[in-house]
Amino acid sequence: MNASFTDTEARNFIGSGVETLTNLPQVPLGTRGRVVDARCSPSHGWVVRVEWALPRKHSAIFAQVGEFSLNIPWRSRVPTGEFDKGQFESCMRPVES
């Protein structure tokens, strides 16, 4: 099995929905995602980037300096991962978006 996508194969997956078939780092079994990008990696050839449908973590910084207080809220980035053809085919399956 070829471990690299061709440029056409990788680009054709953009916008496709996927679901994990196994636990991945920080992504549990059965998590759905969407292929959002394809790029040529120097070490892996063409890879696809999947954005996972996981909840973002909300955080905030609270600080008080003298009479001044700060409250700076932010949300974490959407979890993503890059996969070559071998990883993609063994770890996930296509689903309807």
Q: What is the pLDDT of residues 28-45, one digit of tens each?
A: 999 999 999 999 988 889
Give pLDDT, residue 72: 72
Three-state secondary structure readout of the chain: CCCCECHHHHHHCCCCEEEECCCECCECCCCEEEEEEEEEECCCEEEEEEEECCCCCEEEEEEEECCEEEEEEEECCCCEEEECHHHHHHHEEEECC
Q: How confident is the model at residue 87 (pLDDT cuts 50, 70, 90)?
A: very high
User: Which residue matches tokens 């954005």?
Assistant: 51
- For the CA atoms of 84, 86, 92, 96, the dihedral, rounded to the nearest 10 degrees, stands at 70
Give dist(CA 7, CA 36) in Å, integer.
14
**Interval 69-73 mean pLDDT:** 72
Q: What's the mean per-residue pLDDT of the chain?
A: 87
Q: Over range 86-96, report the average pLDDT.
A: 93
User: Which pLDDT belongs to residue 94?
Assistant: 93
Distance linking the first and last C-alpha atoms of the chain:
27
Write the pLDDT tens digit of every residue in 55-70: 766 666 677 777 777 7
Q: Is the pLDDT of residue 97 over 70?
A: no
